[in-house]
Amino acid sequence: MQTVVDPKTLLLQRIEDKTAVVGVVGMGYVGLPFAVEKAKVGYRVVGIDRSAKRVAMINQGQNYIGDVKDEELRDLVAQGLIRATTGFEVVPELDVIVIAVPTPLTKNLVPDLQYVEGVTREVAKYLRRGQLVSLESTTYPGTTEEVMLPILEESGLKLNQDFFLAHSPERVDPGNARYTTKNTNKVVGGVGKESLEVAVAFYSKTILHVVPVSSAKAAEMVKVFENTFRAVNIALVNELTLLCDRMDLNVWEVLDAAFTKPFGIMPFYPGPGVGGHCIPLDPHYLEWKAKEYNFNTHFINLAGEINRKMPEFTVDKAARVLSQHGKPLRGAKVVLLGMAYKANLDDYRESPAIEVFKLLQKRGAEVVFHDSWTPHVEEHGFVADSVELTDELLQNADLVIITTNHSNVDYARVVALSKAVLDTRYATRGIKADNVVLL
C-alpha cells in the first residue's frame, strides 16, 4: 500500500533538500536580487515578468540591477539555475511563488492594488496542491488575507490544506553595500500557523535571520510602520529646514551638532522632497486603511503634507537666490545636478528632482539636468535626457541646483565655475564659497 504524503510535509521536504522550484513574479529591485540569492544556494528559480526586455536580458545572463553582481547572474543562468518568462503557464512547475510587484497610489493617494490582484488571479488559474504563495510587496495590513486569499480560493483549493499563503515584506535598500537580501532580517507572517511554518522554512534557507510574527496582517503592519517612521522623521527635519530658513539659521549646522549626542537621537536629513518606491507612497497605505476603523493618522497625514511641500520650497528658494543675483526666475538658465532619488543610484522613481524640474519649467525657467546614473528619465508623462556637465554649461547657467549628491561629481569644480549654487543635499560640505546657498 502506497503512503500518501500530505502537501505540507512534501513541500517542507522539497524546501529542505532544495528540490523545490521557486518562482519570482516581478524581476525588479526586489525580485532579481532575491532570485539570485535563492539560486546561489541551489534552488532552481523561474522569474516571471511582463517586460519582454527584462526576460530576454535575464535569459542571456545580462544584469540590470545594481545590487546584483554581473558575474553571479551570468554564472547562475549558465548553470540553468535561473531563467525567466513573461507567462504564468509555468506556475504548476513551481513549489513556491514569491510576488514582488509594484503597489502604487492613485492621484488621490488611494492604494492601487491592480498589480497584486492581477498577478494573484493569474496564479490562481494554475494553482495546484502543495504550493506556497508569498507576497513581498508593501501594502496595507489585511491585503494578503482580505484581497489575495479569496482570489486564490476561487481555484477550489483550501488554505492550509492544499496551499499556503504568507506575507514577508521586502526590506531592500538599493545601493546599500552593507545590508543585502541575505543579511537583512526577514519578517514573515503566515495566514495560519501551517502557512507560517512553511514560509519560515523557505526563507530560512537563504536569509540569515528570520523573524516570525503572528499573522500576515502583522507583517504588513511592520513594513508600513518602518517606512512611516522614516517619512515622519524626514518630515520633521524638513519642517525644521523651513523654520531655519525663516530664522536665517543653517539647518545643516544645527543637525550636525544635534547628531553628536550619543543617545536618544537618530540622524535624518532634509532635501528637496522624498523619493523612491517606499517613503512617498507606503505611509498613505496605512493612512487609507485606518479610515476603515474610523481612525485618523494625524502624524502620517502631516508628514506627507510637509514632504510634498519641499519641491515647491526648493523652487521658491531658487527664485530668491536668483533675485539676489539680479535675475528673475522666468527666463533663467537652471541646471539640476541629479535626477535619481538617492545618491549613487540609477533609480528615479518618485524623485523630487522631477517635480523641481517641472515646477521650474512652469515658472518660466530654462531647465536641463545632468545625471550620469540616470541619463534618460521617463515617469508619469515626464521625459528628459541628461546633458553633459561641461565648463560652458556651468558658466552659462544662472543657477545650479544640486538635487542629488552623487559622489562622481566634482563639486569643487561646479562651485568654481558657477555663478550661483543652491545645494539641497549639502554636497558642498567643506567647500567655502560665497556663491553657495544651502537649502
User: Which residues are identified as catalytic?
Assistant: 278
Angle between helices 282-290 and 298-324 (to 10 degrees): 140
Please report, as a single letter, which amino acid is at residue 164: F
Name the pairing type of β-strands 186-190 and 163-167: antiparallel
**Which pairs count as long-range contacts for 38-43, CB under 8 Å and 24+ apart, including other chains?**
38/205, 38/206, 39/76, 39/81, 39/82, 40/72, 40/76, 40/206, 41/205, 41/206, 42/18, 42/81, 43/18, 43/81, 43/205
**Cα Rg, the chain, nearest whole Å:** 24
CA dihedral in degrees (344, 346, 347, 353; nearest 10)? Answer: 70
Q: For the residues of 26-52, what is the DSSP string, one character each?
A: --STTHHHHHHHHHHTT-EEEEE-S-H
Q: How far apart are CA 329 and CA 371, in angstroms?
A: 22
Q: How far apart are CA 163 and CA 25, in angstroms?
A: 18
Within 10 A of 127 (CB to CB), how many other CB atoms are there?
A: 23
Q: Name residue, grid cell 540591477.
A: 65
Name the pairing type of β-strands 366-370 and 131-135: unpaired
From residue 394, alpha-carbon distances to 59, 93, 384, 411, 416 in Å are: 43, 57, 19, 11, 9
Helix or strand run (H / E) with residue 245: helix 216-247
Q: With contact defined as beta carbons under 8 Å apart, do 272 and 314 qualify?
A: yes
User: In the sheet where 436-438 sits, what is the strand order?
Assistant: 366-370, 333-337, 399-402, 421-423, 436-438
Burial degree of 235 (CB within 10 A; 0-12, 13-18, 19+): buried
Angle between helices 31-40 and 70-78 (to 10 degrees): 60
Reference 419, options 389, 385, 393; nearest CA is: 393
Reference 425, options 309, 344, 324; nearest CA is: 344
